[in-house]
Structure 1
Amino acid sequence: MKDSRPARWARLAPWALIYFFVRQLKELAQGMIYAIPALAVSVSVSDLFNNTWLMAGIALLIISTLTTAFLRFWFFRYRVYEEQIEIQSGVVAKTHINLPFWRIQNIKIERPWYYRLSTYAVLIIDTAGSATEEATIVAIPQASAIALRDTVSAVKAQHSEVSDSRSTDKDTHRNIYSNQDQDQDQDQNTHANTSPEPHIANTADVLNSRTLSDLVLHGMTNNRIWILLGVLTPFLDDLSQWGVNWLSQHGIEPEQLIQNMSLPWWQWAALVLTGASFIIALLMLFSVCGAILTYYGFTLTREGGRYIRRSGLLSQQEVSIQRSRVQRITIRQSALDVLVKRANVSFEQNRNGQRDNNEGSAARLLIPSVTLEQAASLTTDVLSHAHSLYASFWKIHTAFLFHHLLIRLFPLAIVVGVLLNVKLQSFPTASFVVGIALCAILILMRFLRWGYALDQEYLYIRKGLIGKTYHTIPLFKLQQVAMQQSVMMRRKGLVHLKIILASGAAHIPFMEHRHAQYIMDYALFKCESDARSWM
């Protein structure tokens, strides 16, 4: 996108004030969440609301938040010209970002719920560098954001074509001086390995969409109720006391009810199980609502060599990534996903130094709760001829069981058993044995899930406990491969294989040395002989 007046800096629309204010509130909430447990233990909720100093502090905090939001808005400038984006921001510490189009990894367009009444959007720009190089234009017209995204994609595609042609020229020049006896074999390999990505017509094809029932299933099988329980832990005493008081106000005394009821133990167990199931179902409802809010209206579209995900009920999101920048594809099934034969598919690219890789991360495009057939189809659409779900996997060595059972679990069980026998008057032998047996079964299940496979283009890794996770890794995109080996492993000819990608790390434990060496050598060959860019 070329600007006729490149020297003129543009200001944000006034709607950006709302964005900066909400962002300030989120930052404050993230900072104060660590103080909530201490406050919950030392001060009651009623004392907090009756404290006039606290109310004055909250009012002062709101005023300072509004002031900071206005200053951030006032000192924000941006301009687009000569195939680059420049952004100036900061109140005290000034920041100047200059992003050439060809360095941009992907552009994410969001429309928070408070932008729905306007024509503005939030433009989030990721580069292939560190997370600090991410740039955000918080109030840009939606039409301009879409036009800028398309322009950046066109410039990057042109840059990739130039890079591919240069790589092909280098390979051709190198092959001229090879021996004639090797020409025929090398020509076939060079044609297969240095050919550019297949041309895809620049048309919009909807690859996948999610219905409301799919989103409900996703919320149930991938729920986050344990996170909510962790947040509510400091307030459990207050919540239980509130529940008892509420029942007492309605003429129900829980203690007297329990004392007067003469029920057999199995009825008490059924009553407790029913109550626990009701609470879990109530908490699971929050997870379902979160899935609907995040993925409502989900569509995955392919436009040329670009994949675009659009979703969101209140806050709309549009995430775009290039096909050539996908570093690996992960198919993940939770325990419930295995039962209903569904999976979550992730297209992973450069993580930009991000610590987390959650569902809303710009480094990952997630397609929720698809069938296994749809997961296989999506995988082959991005990585041609990949078949992680149907590969024949090699198992890891049984030394995995020896290490975790005899070296880790059993010594720990002996120590814990001795301490319990000393501290307790009556040692719970049956419960202790059952606990050790369950841990051993989990280790065995973990061992059976591990597997790896290799073909001409991809390395496949399978792992999990009750659920399953499949990684599909293009060999020519590997950044680093390393083998780790202890003294005991050296005697048995075993190694741990560690694989580094731009999207993160993967590893295979307790595999045979000859298999690991072959994978390393073949991956090095693919990286040297394949002229395709890993980005």
Structure 2
Amino acid sequence: MDNQTSSSTLDSGDLAAPLKIKDDWQVLSPVAIFYFAVSVFKHLFSNIIYLIPAIAVSYKSVLEHPFIWLPAILAAFTLLTLFAFVSFKVYRYRLTEDNIEIRSGIFSKKHLNLPFSRVQNVKIEQPIYYRFTGHACLQLDTAGSAKNEAKLVAIKLDFAQQLKARIQNQVQKDEGDINLENLSADPAASLSGSESNKAHQEIVLNQRNLSDLVIHGITSNRIWIFLGGLAPFYNNIFDSIGEWITSLGIDLTELFSLQTHSLLEVGLYALSLTMLVMLVMVSFSVIGAIISFYGYTLSKLDDKYIRRSGLFTKHEVSMGLSRLQMVVQKQDWLDVLLKRINLKFEQSNSFSKNLSASASSSKIIVPSIKPHECQALIDDAYPDNSLNALVGNDAFSPISKRFIFRNIVYVLMPLWLIITSSTLMNGKFMISALLSVLFVGLCGLVVLRWKRWGIAKDQNFVYLRKGLIGVDYYCFPTYKLQQTQFKQNLLMKRRQLATVKFVLASGSLTVPMIDEKLAYEFIDKGLYQVESSQKSWM
């Protein structure tokens, strides 16, 4: 292969140094081996849950025979290193004036040719093992399939920033050419557009400090997923913890004995132990939030939002405002108590399937902000929105009360009657009483679900409300609609009810059992806006 590189310089936007376009096939820096090794390890670890049953059955025998598992670990490490090295060797990329090509793959060869004009998001990621060498990963997301994203995994940080600016300038130029075709001959509007293009000052919209991240970790506790994966090991974990507590001189059997302690003392001991366990579990969630969102900054540069965060791996996500599909204001029950909101700016969901929520470049999450901060960000994204006024006046049209009847009478009550009758016939009165309490509680949740669900609209936006104890609000411009669906079965038709489904590039939203006329009104207004608006959903 010819190693000579022919280069041309292009304007890189705000960066002083011009971008050198390398139009011959380039190899990655050897530090890319670390990236490929870590990627394989992450993939194996993410699928380890499928191996938990086999590990739970055989891990004792494996520990008793170290001459089996030690060579196995060495062999796995060797294969991992070999795979990372070969992946590095076969990876090639080259740049032209307006596109990037990438060749990769060991067993399944891939050749990706991505024009800059198709790029939806540009993300710079700098893992901790790249900070010492000044390298970074550049990730390019398109509006198409998640399998067609491009990623340069070991390039210099300054080159990544220049390439990002080059791509964004190309996208902005293409969008500007399209907009010029639709503009009327208005000199004042043209002058205004020219002046706005000259403004290249990044404005900080929001920052999250450590206390905000701690609150986010507490309110969005996801430790239950981890605990579910550990279920096969509970007996051994509890035995180990019991042995450790005994080694400290604490006898749990004596501590919780009603013969030596009063019921009040045992209750207090149990409550203290429960609080201690909960504190440990919440600590894991808080640590995860800090790792994901440390140093969080949301900025705006022209018509782009830029999110930077990450403790070990630094993420820089850039998202064009014109590509924003929907804003989501979410509150769980703890968020309601602490008066915090998690705000999401969502785009196409095709790319987010391969990434965690915090690292995904298809959406920008602003964790645990206060209500006035949330509304300020929504107003910045959608200046003409009426969400705050609708919430204050409770102007959402509710769904039908038939929702309560359907879920309680047709779903919950038959199950409760069957199970309760069976337990009563067997003389298990206490279990029947507990099942009845559970049934009443579930009925209450159904009523809450009905109370939260609502829909509203104004001249330019559609608003949805849903939730259980907390309340979530969804706001999207009507012209962003990709598809609408009208669903009605025989029972709903008899009562003039219908279910409406709104499909956007970021996903779908469903509102069940609303008035038939209201459903047609939303669909007709949405289709009219899509047909009459000259704005692009992208």
Q: TM-score, normalised by structure 2?
A: 0.90
State the shift of 1:134 in Å. 1.0
**2:377 counterpart of 1:361:** no
Q: Is there any run of 5+ residues in structure 1 with no aligned partner, and where?
A: 173-194
CA distance in 2, matches of 1:77, 1:287: 39
- SS of residue paired to 2:469: coil
Which residue is 1:36 aligned to?
A: 52
Which residue is 1:376 aligned to?
A: 375
Letter in 1 for 2:495: K
Which residue is 1:73 aligned to?
A: 88
**2:361 counterpart of 1:351:** no
Could you say if the C-alpha distance between residues 382 and 355 of structure 1 is closer, same or farther in structure 2, counting changes exceeding 3 Å? same
> Which of 1 and 2 has higher RCO (CA within 8 Å, sep 6+)?
1
Letter in 2 for 1:100: P
Which residue is 1:248 aligned to?
A: 246
CA distance in 1, matches of 2:193, 2:200: 17
Which one of 57, 72, 76 corresponds to residue 61 of structure 1? 76
Letter in 2 for 1:79: R
Q: How does 1:114-263 map to 2 (within 5 A)?
A: 114-168=129-183, 199=196, 201-259=199-257, 261-263=259-261
CA distance in 2, matches of 1:106, 1:32: 31
CA distance in 1, matches of 2:33, 2:443: 56
Which residue is 1:22 aligned to?
A: 38
State the shift of 1:339 in Å. 1.1
CA distance in 1, matches of 2:314, 2:20: 31
More displaced stretch, 403-412 vs 100-109: 403-412
Q: How does 1:247-326 map to 2 (within 5 A)?
A: 247-259=245-257, 261-326=259-324
CA distance in 1, matches of 2:166, 2:426: 70
Letter in 2 for 1:481: T
State the shift of 1:419 in Å. 2.5
Could you say if the C-alpha distance between residues 339 and 101 of structure 1 is closer, same or farther in structure 2, counting changes exceeding 3 Å? same
CA distance in 2, matches of 1:5, 1:247: 63
Asked if structure 1 preserves the Cα contact closer than 8 Å seen for 2:254 and 2:260, the reply is no
Which residue is 1:403 aligned to?
A: 406
Could you say if the C-alpha distance between residues 448 and 251 of structure 1 is closer, same or farther in structure 2, counting changes exceeding 3 Å? same
Letter in 2 for 1:113: I
Could you say if the C-alpha distance between residues 247 and 341 of structure 1 is closer, same or farther in structure 2, counting changes exceeding 3 Å? closer
State the shift of 1:98 in Å. 0.7
Asked if structure 2 preserves the Cα contact closer than 8 Å seen for 1:164 and 1:531, the reply is no
1:210-242 alpha-carbon deviations (Å, 9 max, x no partner): 111111111111121212211322221111111
Which residue is 1:192 aligned to?
A: none
State the shift of 1:297 in Å. 1.0
Which residue is 1:524 aligned to?
A: 527
CA distance in 2, matches of 1:364, 1:272: 42
CA distance in 1, matches of 2:193, 2:53: 56
Q: Tell me how large the CA RMSD over aligned residues is.
A: 2.3
State the shift of 1:168 in Å. 4.8
Q: How does 1:349-498 map to 2 (within 5 A)?
A: 349-352=347-350, 354-355=352-353, 358-391=357-390, 392-426=395-429, 428-498=431-501
Could you say if the C-alpha distance between residues 52 and 281 of structure 1 is closer, same or farther in structure 2, counting changes exceeding 3 Å? same
Letter in 1 for 2:511: I
CA distance in 1, matches of 2:476, 2:195: 19
Asked if structure 2 preserves the Cα contact closer than 8 Å seen for 1:420 and 1:427, the reply is no
CA distance in 1, matches of 2:183, 2:233: 64
CA distance in 2, matches of 1:404, 1:204: 50
- SS of residue paired to 1:34: helix
Q: Is there any run of 5+ residues in structure 2 with no aligned partner, and where?
A: 1-8, 11-18, 186-191
Letter in 2 for 1:534: W
Asked if structure 1 preserves the Cα contact closer than 8 Å seen for 2:256 and 2:266, the reply is no
CA distance in 1, matches of 2:428, 2:399: 43
Percent identity reads 35
CA distance in 1, matches of 2:275, 2:129: 36
Letter in 1 for 2:416: A
CA distance in 2, matches of 1:403, 1:241: 47
Asked if structure 1 preserves the Cα contact closer than 8 Å seen for 2:501 and 2:511, the reply is yes
State the shift of 1:256 in Å. 4.5
Letter in 2 for 1:464: G
State the shift of 1:259 in Å. 4.3
State the shift of 1:349 in Å. 0.4
Which residue is 2:26 aligned to?
A: 10
State the shift of 1:332 in Å. 0.5
